[in-house]
Amino acid sequence: MRKLTYASAGVDIDAADQAKKQIATMAKSTFNEKVRTSIGLFAGAYDFDDRILLSSTDSVGTKVMIADMMGVLNTIGEDIVNHCANDIAVHNANPLFFLDYIAHSDFEPKQIISLVEGIVKGCKNAKIALIGGETAQLPGIYPSGMFDLAGFIVGEVKKDSLINGELISPGDVIIGLPSNGLHTNGYSLARKVLFDIGKFTVKSYVDELGCTVGEALLATHTLYVSAVHKLRDKVSIHGMAHITGGGVPGNLIRVLPENCYARIYSDTVKTPSIMKLIRRIGNIESHEMYRTFNMGFGYLIIVSAREMDITLEALTSFDAFCAGEITKGKKGKKGVEICR
């Protein structure tokens, strides 16, 4: 059987990375002296008086299709809030407000209300104000019953408290916080494997999952903001990474200085059962799994080795674990390696 890749499911990560590089160059031409981050980090930073504003935007991707199949629309709103809040938490921001974007062809008002109910729940959990949004009816673009959901968040941080990874150095340790499933990435490949190859439906109960396929796929994206808030007054956080599209390699490298190499040990976390099922049925290589899914590593926090025990103790309720270490960059270049 031919080994599946994310590209064969319709998502070409390499092509997207090439486009992002060109976009970053174009975007940089608009920068002024108040822009504090480059394109490619988890959030954009902008000087604003005595503080820095952090902003990020994202969508839940084709997870909306699982929600539609399940007839459950009030959880993916929570997903998008959590995803965006985690992204700005990487840079130590306190979330301020959120806006949503819902595009559809022929949704009924009750369906839109259900989506917003999830967004409101997520905002309350993350202590963010939902101050507006846009609902666009676009027949001809979206097929009947299909829709899209995106979000935009703004947060703030004191100028001397911004975390961008520049403190990371060889000898540091990587603390992991577990995911509870796919979160909001890798659904195109998951759908191809589970529905096209495995012939499951969202209602199929699978013993190793302990629930239906749909329930496993719809598990709400974990919110890590409170973990960051609990830790930051106890230790010096050198850097953080939210593991989303691109997996551990594609996200951790975004915050590494040029002279640093990250070694992640795969046996330090329990890989969610849904990912094991996808890997087995799809005959997917390990490398492809790690660049598509979070593989159980939901969020990574980098601290000095001498503060590892304090960090783990502070985050006991979040099931924190030591996920790896930072070593000197190979030939002076940064990189990420998954070790087994």
Q: Tens of pLDDT along 118-134?
A: 999 999 999 999 999 99
How high is the pLDDT of residue 60?
96
How high is the pLDDT of residue 339?
94
How high is the pLDDT of residue 40?
67
CA distance 120 to 72: 16
CB 280 within 8 A of CB 193: no
How high is the pLDDT of residue 161?
95
- Write out the CATH class of domain 173-339: alpha beta
pLDDT in tens, the chain (340 residues): 566 676 666 666 677 667 767 777 777 787 788 877 776 678 888 898 889 999 999 999 999 999 999 999 999 999 999 999 999 999 999 999 999 999 999 999 999 999 999 999 999 999 999 999 999 999 999 999 899 999 999 999 999 999 999 999 999 999 999 999 999 999 999 999 999 999 999 999 999 999 999 999 999 999 999 999 999 999 999 999 999 999 999 999 999 999 899 999 999 999 999 999 999 999 999 999 999 999 999 999 999 999 999 999 999 999 999 999 999 987 778 999 999 8
How high is the pLDDT of residue 18?
76
Closest to 249 measured CA to CA, from 261, 237, 233, 259? 261
Contacts of 242 (CB under 8 A, 6+ apart): 42, 83, 86, 87, 89, 90, 224, 251, 298, 299
How high is the pLDDT of residue 42?
84
Q: Tens of pLDDT along 179-208?
A: 999 999 999 999 999 999 999 999 999 999
Helix (H) or strand (E) holding 302: strand 297-303
Residues forming a β-bridge with 239: 302
CA distance 137 to 215: 28
- Write out the CATH class of domain 41-161: alpha beta
CB 66 within 8 A of CB 192: no
Cα within 13 Å of Cα(207), Cβ side: 0
CA distance 13 to 291: 9
Residue ranges of domains in the chain = 41-161, 173-339
Local structure of residue 306 (DSSP, 8 states): G
Q: Please state, in angstroms and as integers, the Cα–Cα distance from residue 322 to each residue in 176, 303, 304, following that order.
A: 6, 11, 12
How high is the pLDDT of residue 174?
98
Q: What is the DSSP string of 180-228?
A: SS-TTS-HHHHHIIIIIIS---TT-EETTTTEEHHHHHTPPPPP-HHHH
| Strand pairing class (44-48; 51-59) | antiparallel
CA distance 255 to 42: 9
Please provide the size of the chain in residues.
340
How high is the pLDDT of residue 27?
74
CA distance 307 to 104: 49
Q: Give residue 45's identity as a one-letter amino acid code.
A: A
How high is the pLDDT of residue 219?
98
CB 136 within 8 A of CB 94: no
